[in-house]
Amino acid sequence: MRRNRSPRRPPAVLLGAGVNLIEVTRALAVAGIPSAIAAPDQDAARLSRHTTVVATHNWSDPEAASGEDRLIQRLVSYARTQPGPPPLFFTSDEALLFVSRYRDALGAAYRFAIADPDTVETLADKARFAVLAERLGVRAPRTRILAPRPGAVPDDVSRLRFPLIVKPYRRDRGWHEVVATAKKALQVGDEQDLRTLWRPLAALGAPVVVQEAVPGPESRVESYHVYVDRDGRTAAEFVGQKIRTMPPEFGHTTALTITDTPDVLKQGRELVRVLGLRGVAKVDFKRAPDGELFVLEVNPRFHLWHHPGARAGVNIPALVYADLTGAPRPASGPARAGVRWVHPRDVSSAGADDVSIWRWIRWAGGCDAKAFWAWDDPLPLIAAVAARTPFRR
């Protein structure tokens, strides 16, 4: 374990994995704030010069819950070695739920900006959020949560209009194996398509989300990002839009841009107000062909968008850190529109759009924020590439 380089103030302690973890680390580094992390073995963020490894924990492993008591002990022990209670950040759904459910045990040693327990559970549970959205009159795609079993498709689906989106209830590696796709969701055009998909879904043995589709590519997904302090004031906000994903449909974000779209700001603010949210949140919308926005989900946690947000002048993790440690808040916003972020896998996404490799290199080189990569901190990218490269004798 490397020695903390800033003994006069505690590091931010980050829980999570993958691109969200390293990009929140990057956002903090922009403000000169060191990070300590609890991450899976071989996670790319472990090699960053900005991080100290506190614990090893595989957040995506269903069996990881069996080690939560040990993780709490390790985190509390680490916090007691610091000059003050460290801020605790959560960069995945699993880490969010962990902090929320153990907030009493962790709160003795840490400080965190998080929504109240019921709000966290509601936003993390797609069934509960769908019910809440209907009750609040939020414009969201009509949704059903189903438990596929061998046999006929339930009658509930007949109340929805095709085409439909089908996706796992929670992130599940088994989903990709059973339905043989790298996509986070699949679109079905009619009842015959759904019946064909139903058989493998029944083998999954887990609930699925069935939702009316909002037509259009992934570049129609826009988002509102906010930090609401404990007094209910909006301390920082910005908006952005996806450019590409991998796979191109229902994939993970590989390129994005910061925007200043007025209706996304307005509707994001209103939804956060109605929900009474505190802490950080990301509201995902999809713009329909008629220009209207549909709410897809609300994620009350830290995420990869915070790195380009910091480059655009709105560093939400740094603001949270300041509030939780009693330091002065850094200057913030409004966000500079046009700041771009790119992931190394975007080269494949761009290729699917017939963008040549040389054109993509020029475009990516001009991006303000690059996932995993910084000239003064190159090892995370090397680790990320190595993790995806199979070893052959």
> Going edge to edge, which strands form the sheet with 234-246?
293-299, 279-287, 221-228, 234-246, 252-259, 340-342, 369-370
The Cβ of residue 368 has, within 10 Å, a number of other Cβ atoms equal to 17
Asked if residues 95 and 71 have their Cβ atoms less than 8 Å apart, the reply is no
Domains and their CATH numbers in the chain: 12-114 (3.40.50.20), 142-212 (3.30.1490.20), 218-387 (3.30.470.20)
Q: Model pTM?
A: 0.91
**Tokens at residue 56, please?**
């090893």
Please report, in tens digits, the pLDDT of each residue of the chain (393 residues total): 444 444 578 999 999 999 999 999 999 999 999 999 999 999 999 999 999 999 999 887 767 777 899 999 999 999 999 999 999 999 999 999 999 999 999 999 999 999 999 999 999 988 889 889 989 999 999 888 888 887 777 767 778 899 998 888 776 667 777 777 777 888 889 888 888 888 888 887 778 888 899 999 999 999 999 999 999 999 999 999 999 999 888 889 999 999 999 999 999 999 999 999 999 999 999 999 999 999 999 999 999 999 999 999 999 999 999 999 999 999 998 999 999 999 999 999 999 989 999 999 999 999 999 999 999 999 999 888 877 654 333
SS (H, E, C) 162-200: CCEEEEECCCCHHHHHHCCCCCCCEEECCHHHHHHHHHH
Q: Which one, of 244, 301, 293, lies nearest residue 264 by Cα? A: 293
Computed on alpha carbons and rounded to an integer, the radius of gyration of the chain in Å comes to: 21
Determine the Cα–Cα distance for residues 157 and 164; give it in Å rounded to an integer: 9
Asked if residues 338 and 313 have their Cβ atoms less than 8 Å apart, the reply is no
What residues contact 148, with CB distance under 8 A and at least 6 apart?
Answer: 198, 201, 202, 204, 208
Residue 24, SS3 per DSSP:
helix
